[in-house]
Structure 1
Amino acid sequence: MKILHASAEYFPYIKMGGLADMLASLTKEQAKTEEVYVALPYIGGLGKSPQWTGREYPALLPNDAKTDSLVVSILKNSKFLEAEESGVKLYFFQSDLFQSLNSVYGHAEEHFRFAMFSYACYALSQILKVDVFHAHDWHTAIALTLQKDSANPIPSVFTIHNLAYQGDHPFWMTGFLKEEPFRLITSPFDHDGKCNYMKAGILSADKITTVSPGYREETLSEPNGFGLSYCLQQRSGDYRGILNGIDSEEWNPNKDKRIYKTYSAKDWKEGKLKNKTELFKEIGRPSLPLDVPLVGLIGRLTHQKGFPTFLQAFSERRHLPHRYVVLGSGEPEMEKTFYYLSETFPDVFYFYKGYNENLAHKIEAASDFFLMPSLFEPCGLNQMYSHNYGTIPIVSRVGGLKDTVEESNIPSYKTGIVFEPNDAGSLGYALERAKDLFGSQERDIVVKNIMDLDWSWKKRKLEYDLVYTKAIELKI
């Protein structure tokens, strides 16, 4: 089977969130048995230099180049450059629209850039004659509409990674979609008076998936449907929740070259102690105590991730002995708050602004607990990374977190600590339970449980195979 994924992110080249990790690890597994291609933007700020093959492909189909419109001109001067990574062929969309960007999001004219990228991905799928076209999130959703309207439609799958981001723009900004090479009727994408790219993908794809069964159920009603639950209800028979997997080679404490000392389930106590000791030295806090819980937090500092709830709980539970290491960036006010805590309480808090892949691995290896206070979480990956590293996750009861973490009264079934979302009291009580668990014999049982879990892609890859097969059957 020949599969083309279209995405704005792909680790290690472009990473802003879980999409990059998810797609890189999924395609690595798929490439063991299938021909796998990935199309992504070629931005100036790539995280790694691609291994180019020297092959190039056009970004415009010949039959769509009949005029000299601005869009046609841009696509004529753009192309795909082929590279390879872990058995996967990568196609970087080289265009003036993306070449000067150091990051893929947060720029003016995003609606136009990603529409051009979407068309180019559609064109590439036709040129490569793939069996399945798999688009990810709103950035590539327009390609699904083009597939649906094509004379040679390719079976398509649309994966929703976060329904909160929909790529909706005023219609006056998207008039180019009615012109060549798109020639689309945009009225079906009308949502609250705007042209909504996410809605276009939902209505156009042959099959739809999202990244956990729990999140699928949440998006079928409001408020977690973010205004599009009615569309997903219409397509509910074609809509499936498939839990993300992780790259168990990349996130493996027994092999991880990024951490200070590798360890396994047999020597996790010694491994964590060494990693905690060395982490404290690296972050300039060598005098921090080793015999109290270290709680790691990594992620975007946004309201969605529940950091205001955590800050309130921290304020209310100042008596707890926990130390915190925070890695992330996001809303300026949130960054300022964490910076203030780091400077004012250096014996309790450490904050690193930005993202650092090596530090993320070190935090997972050194931490005793990992906190994810999300208000909603489509899947989440860090709780799975934490399981691999013997780091007990503390998570809110939402989306993929509730699918992967269970706080059972029976120690041999417990895989973490769970609290209610957007509830500082519930989170604070969870931190209290973490303190009790840290010093108990039960912790040994829980760590053994979580380090034995298998969150690899082997099983989940088969679930995607089934979705692809059903999408293909619709075209026969």
Structure 2
Amino acid sequence: MKILHIGSEMYPLIKTGGLADVLGALPYAQQAMGNDVRVILPLYPQVAEKIGETQEVATIGTFSGVVTLRFTYFNGLGVYVIDAPHLFNRRLPYYDDNYQDYGDNYKRFALLSYLGAQLAEGLDHWWGRADILHAHDWQAGLACAYLKSWHSPVKSIFTIHNIAYPGRFQGYHLAELGLPWEFFSPYGLEFYGEMSYLKAGLFYADRVTTVSPTYAQEITEHIAGGGMHGLLQTRQAEGRLSGILNGVDDTVWNPETDNLIISNYRATYMQGKAKNKAELQRYFGLPEEKESLLFVMVTRLTEQKGADFLLAKIDEIMQHPVQLVVLGSGSPDLENALRYAQSRYPQQIGLKIGYDEALSHQIIAGGDVILVPSRFEPCGLTQLYGLKYGTLPLVRKTGGLADTVNDSHKESIENRTATGFVFKHPDADDFMEAVLRAINLWKKQKLWSSVRQNALAQDFGWAKVAEQYQALYREVA
């Protein structure tokens, strides 16, 4: 089966979030199953630095000027890149240094969708027409609309990675994008007087998926649907909405082979985890106390991610023999509040504002508990990394977090299903109750080790995910 993925980022070429990890793993897993799989993404400067030499496939005139489509094999996978410097030669992919969205994002990602749809239709004559076009998030949503407007036989799948980002733009831009005006309607891509690229994917794709079964249900409800819940209820009733849980790339996230951590380890030889903890404490200038429970958090600092729950209870948490390490960036208010907390508890809190891929591996390997207290979370990957590294996740019961972490209580510990700590309500008090349960379990090291072994035994490999998508593709095709 010929499969073309369209996305705005792909690890390790360019990454701002979990979408990149999916595009950096799922196509390879599908290729290993015998499919002919390719990916198309913009040629950002970071991509140009890493991808190496490319070959010209086509140079064509488009609604945004003349652009060149290039191709190469990256780590054995066919990757197309859109060479359009006037649109993509920018240091940050979505917004400027002041976190302001680029004014021409409507055109930049319409072009990504347009060329992706053209490619699926056979723009590369050597590859031919795709069987499945798989578009990811709002940046690729218009690809499904282009295929419908051309009455293409190519089947399309649209995956929602986060419905909170609808890709909204002024409706008058539609005239520039080569789509018919009748598409600008409630039964199309119109969304409260504007156009939404995400809604285009939801409306025009043959099937809609999201990244966990629980999130697939949540987004059909008013509170989590971002205004799209009515359409998603229709898709669900039609049998065209499903949730497929993301996986973990074992070649990138594996404590046995990870070359970004100070000491490798495995479930039957855990001494290396203690060494990683000591290294993490040294890095952040914290006392090297193996007895202290070390909480870690690697996240975007936003209210969605629940960082404010942590800050609301920071004084209470610091009264216990614990340490905290945070790596992240985002809201200036949250960043400053964390800096202030670190200045008050320098012997207990380590903080780095920003993103550091190598350091994130060391943090997850060295921590005892990883905090993922999100208000909503389509899938979440950091809790999966935590399970993989024996760093017990503390999560809210929502989306993919609910699907992947089992709470630790007397019964689940006894029947060896406990893998972390789960709280239900999106508030600081419920979060704190879970923190206290983690602190209390830490005092019982035999039980802690048992839960940690359960976590390490979980299997969230991409091969299982690829099989589920394969079944979906066959059904659609």
TM-score, normalised to structure 2's length? 0.92
Measured in 2, the distance between the counterparts of 1:289 and 1:154 equals 58
SS at match of 2:395: strand
Counterpart in the other structure of 2:248 = 246
Counterpart in the other structure of 1:98 = 87
Matched, 1:147 2:147: yes
Measured in 1, the distance between the counterparts of 2:219 and 2:302 equals 20
Measured in 2, the distance between the counterparts of 1:255 and 1:224 equals 38
Deviations 1:170-217 (A, max 9, x none): 22344313xxx4345322222111111111111100011000000000
Measured in 1, the distance between the counterparts of 2:28 and 2:47 equals 19
Cα pair 1:39 1:121 within 8 Å, conserved: yes
Measured in 1, the distance between the counterparts of 2:263 and 2:75 equals 26
Counterpart in the other structure of 2:384 = 384
CA spacing shift, 1:428–1:48, aligned 2, 3 Å: farther
% same residue: 35
Letter of the structure 1 residue corresponding to residue 284 of structure 2: I
Measured in 2, the distance between the counterparts of 1:289 and 1:405 equals 27
CA spacing shift, 1:59–1:438, aligned 2, 3 Å: farther
Measured in 1, the distance between the counterparts of 2:345 and 2:380 equals 29
Counterpart in the other structure of 2:233 = 233
Measured in 2, the distance between the counterparts of 1:252 and 1:274 equals 16
Residue pairs, 1:347-426, within 5 angstroms: 347-408=347-408, 409-411=411-413, 412-426=416-430
Residue pairs, 1:130-279, within 5 angstroms: 130-177=130-177, 181-185=178-182, 186-187=184-185, 188-236=188-236, 237-268=239-270, 270-279=271-280
Cα pair 2:285 2:350 within 8 Å, conserved: no
TM-score, normalised to structure 1's length? 0.92
Deviations 1:423-463 (A, max 9, x none): 11111111111111112111111111111111101211111
Matched, 1:317 2:306: no
Q: CA deviation at 1:46?
A: 3.5
CA spacing shift, 1:334–1:140, aligned 2, 3 Å: same
Counterpart in the other structure of 1:121 = 116
Bigger mean CA offset, 165-174 vs 237-246: 165-174
Letter of the structure 2 residue corresponding to residue 262 of structure 1: N
Q: CA deviation at 1:161?
A: 0.3
Counterpart in the other structure of 1:430 = 434
Counterpart in the other structure of 1:339 = 339
Counterpart in the other structure of 1:328 = 328
Measured in 2, the distance between the counterparts of 1:445 and 1:47 equals 46
Structure 1: gaps of 5 or more residues: 66-70
Measured in 1, the distance between the counterparts of 2:76 and 2:114 equals 25
Equivalent of residue 451 in structure 1, options 449, 456, 462: 456
Measured in 2, the distance between the counterparts of 1:436 and 1:204 equals 51
Counterpart in the other structure of 2:98 = none
CA spacing shift, 1:165–1:196, aligned 2, 3 Å: same
Measured in 2, the distance between the counterparts of 1:189 and 1:315 equals 47
Letter of the structure 2 residue corresponding to residue 429 of structure 1: E
Measured in 2, the distance between the counterparts of 1:18 and 1:220 equals 22
Q: CA deviation at 1:133?
A: 0.3
SS at match of 1:458: helix
Measured in 1, the distance between the counterparts of 2:41 and 2:260 equals 27
Cα pair 1:119 1:182 within 8 Å, conserved: no
Counterpart in the other structure of 1:42 = 43
Measured in 1, the distance between the counterparts of 2:55 and 2:375 equals 45
Measured in 2, the distance between the counterparts of 1:81 and 1:354 equals 32
Cα pair 1:310 1:424 within 8 Å, conserved: yes
Q: Which structure ranks higher in relative contact order (CA pairs < 8 Å, sequence separation ≥ 6)?
A: 1
Structure 2: gaps of 5 or more residues: 96-101
Measured in 2, the distance between the counterparts of 1:295 and 1:415 equals 16
CA spacing shift, 1:59–1:3, aligned 2, 3 Å: farther
